[in-house]
A and B are shown apart, each in its own frame.
Chain A
Amino acid sequence: MKISATGANTNGLQFLARAGFEACDFNVGWYFTSKASPLYDIYNVTDQQIVEYFTPLRQLADELGIEIFQTHGLGCVVVGDFEGGLKEYVARARGAYLASKVLGAKYCVQHPSFDCTCPYDINRKRSVAHMLEAYSACNEALEEFGIICCIENMHHTNLTYRHRAATSLSRAKDMAERADTLGKNFGVCLDVGHCTVTEDDPVEAVYILGDRLKVLHTHDNDGMWDLHQFPYVRQGKPPSRSPMKIDWELFMKALADIGYNGTLSFETGAPGPEPIRDAGQKYLAAIGRYLVSRYEFYKGK
């Protein structure tokens, strides 16, 4: 199992290599959803341009010994965000899949496109239908490039109480059902940190997902907010509440038990000012190596 973390450009890849990472979760989604990107004007961007843009990044990754195992595709966007609706959504997702292929990644994580007013079980039917419609529309592009789209467990901010809440794609059982419904071009990305803010047990989720689980977004938090912190950052328990806390030992055991064969990919990075970021990222790599050693331990049993 390789240790991996997020990156999105030349500097990001070099940063990961310096810190000792072996793999990368490359954010291609930004290139197809941000107006600042040279590839944003999706209908006027050719496949050849996409290939030419990402090929040097792939070459750099190869030179640095970094495997781009997974990518971040469309994230934090819904079909309704685009003037061209579902057609434009699919065109942008397709761009991300092609970029993933060029980078050598088999898996592209794509946030669900659902109405954000659907926390808990409110409007569940509508939310699920909308989500499935958007994912299904991407099937042809996924087939074209041989990419597996990974659906991800999400959380929602309750607009009244301002706390985090579960959505129609938070529970492992829901994730498994959606992946099965969507078929062979889809798998699951388990966001470990999201589990605790929606009061889902990430260990239980791993067992429920089984071989549907293809990739991870690994990070920690205080059980209340999606802080994307290093594992083990939270030692104590807030005095006023008893939020969930990730048991990293059991989590790694669960991955070994189901025969997970992806990377340990962190969706966090060194915090703080530039002069100490390399040191922080090396610390994260050390935490990763330790967690992988626990996985190997249980795998060998």
Chain B
Amino acid sequence: MKISVNTNGAPVADKERFKYLKECGFDACDVKLSEYFGVDGVFGDIDAVTDAQIKEYFTELKKCAKEAKMEIGQTHSQFSGKLDDYEGGMADVIKREIACIKATKYLGAKYCVISPVVMEGRRYDLLVSENFNAAAKFYKELIPTLEECKVIGCIENMWTTDPVSRYTCATILSRAKELNKMVKKLGENYKICLDIGHCALTADNPVDVIKAVKDNLVCMHIHDNNGWADLHAIPYGGFGKPVGLKPVRIDWPTTLEAIKESGYKGNINFDIVPPGPVDIRKDGYLYLADIGRYFVSVIKG
């Protein structure tokens, strides 16, 4: 079990990020691929990108990680779940996802976290089967590439915003039951990445979710928030219980206990960029790595 963090917050060139994060105390990382394969990314013109280019670029990146003695445990594909962001619609998204899976292979990562398609209006119990089927169809289209690249696709619990109350609420794959159902439908090429912070936004207790999905749980996005906004804050951020309103707050002691009892063997991966100006970024990472070491010590008992 290694201490991991996403790479995109390190305020240096991408090839230097592994060394930077290693110096901050991390052993592993999660490479966010949106900066490469997003519409405005380095390889944003997806139709012009060749396999050879992907191989060359990400093999080099893997070399940098190896030199820094950093494991690339997982990647984050670039798709946010909203089809409206892509002029070319689903066909365009699929091309980008395929490129992300290939990049994951060349980076030597085992897992690629892929957001589901989130249909407009899918919230609470609305459009449940429609969105489930659409997401399953999307995920299935990626199976040949996942098999070819020997990469495991990871589905992730999501949240959305209620258009009336403007509060965060549940959507596709928010609930543990639906996560398990999706994995069962997709087969052995897919597992689960649990986003602990998202649990609080959909009023799900991460303790219950971990217990329910433990057999399919292979990686995590760990971060904190105030139960209202997807802040991606450092755990123990001091989000005390508010007066009057009672959003879900992540209870870290019981969450760590649930991870321990689940038999989880993956990395402790933080989906966090330390807040504030770049000048204090490294201090934030050092603190986060200390929290990571504490988490591992609790989980390993």
- Chain A positions within 8 Å of B, measured between CB atoms, are 157, 161-164, 222, 224-225, 227-241, 248, 268, 271-273, 275-276, 279-280, 282-283, 286-287, 290, 293
Interface bits B269-301 vs A (CB < 8 Å: 1, else 0): 000000111011001101100110010010000
**B228 A239 Cβ-Cβ under 8 A:** yes
A279:B287 contact, CB within 8 angstroms: yes
Q: How far is the CB of B202 from chain A (nearest CB, A)?
A: 13
Cβ of B187 under 8 Å from chain A: no
CA distance A239 to B168 in the complex (A): 7
On whether the beta carbons of B229 and A275 are closer than 8 Å, the reply is no
Contact B276 A232 (CB under 8 A): yes
Number of interface residues of B (CB under 8 A): 38
In the complex the two chains form, what is the Cα distance from A290 to B282 in whole Å? Answer: 12
Chain A residues near B86: list those with CB within 8 A.
none
Residue pair B166, A240 in contact (C-beta under 8 Å): yes
Q: Check B238–A268 contact: CB distance below 8 A.
A: yes
A240 to chain B, nearest CB (A): 4
- For residue B52, CB closer than 8 A to chain A, the reply is no
Determine if B88 is an interface residue (Cβ-Cβ < 8 Å).
Answer: no
CB of A283 within 8 A of CB of B286, answer: yes
Question: What is the distance, in angstroms, from A80's C-beta to the closest C-beta of chain B?
Answer: 22
Q: By the criterion CB–CB under 8 Å, are A225 and B238 in contact?
A: no
Check A239/B236 contact, CB under 8 A, given A232-B275, A286-B283: no
Closest B residue to A158 using CB positions: B244
Write the nearest CB–CB distance from B270 to chain A, whole angstroms.
Answer: 14
Contact A238 B238 (CB under 8 A): no
Contact A282 B287 (CB under 8 A): yes
Listed by A's residue number, 14 A-B pairs whose Cβ atoms lie within 8 Å are A161-B244, A162-B243, A163-B244, A230-B237, A231-B276, A236-B231, A238-B229, A239-B166, A239-B229, A268-B238, A271-B237, A272-B236, A276-B291, A290-B277
With a cutoff of 8 Å between Cβ atoms, the chain A residues found around residue B231 in the complex are: 234-236
Selected contact of B239 from candidates A163, A227, A235, A286, CB within 8 Å: A227
Contacting residues, chain B, for A271 (C-beta < 8 A): 236-238
| B78 within 8 Å of A (CB atoms) | no
State how many angstroms separate the Cβ of A156 from the closest Cβ of chain B: 11
CB distance from A242 to the nearest CB of B (A): 10
Q: Would you give the shortest CB distance from A123 to chain B, in whole angstroms?
A: 21
In the complex, are the beta carbons of B244 and A162 less than 8 A apart? yes
**Are the CB atoms of B252 and A272 closer together than 8 Å?**
yes
Which residue of chain B is the closest to A221 with respect to CB atoms? B238
**Chain A residues, CB < 8 A from B166:** 239-241
| B238 with A233: CB separation less than 8 A | yes
Q: A163-B244, A225-B242, A229-B237 are in contact. Are A272 and B277 (CB under 8 A)?
A: no
Known: A286-B283, A290-B280. A240 touches B275 (CB 8 A): no
By a CB distance below 8 angstroms, the chain A residues around B240 are: 225, 227
Smallest Cβ distance from B251 to chain A, in angstroms? 12
Q: 12 other contacts beyond A229-B237, A236-B231, with CB at 8 A cut-off?
A: A157-B243, A163-B244, A222-B239, A230-B237, A233-B237, A239-B229, A240-B165, A272-B252, A272-B291, A287-B280, A290-B276, A290-B280
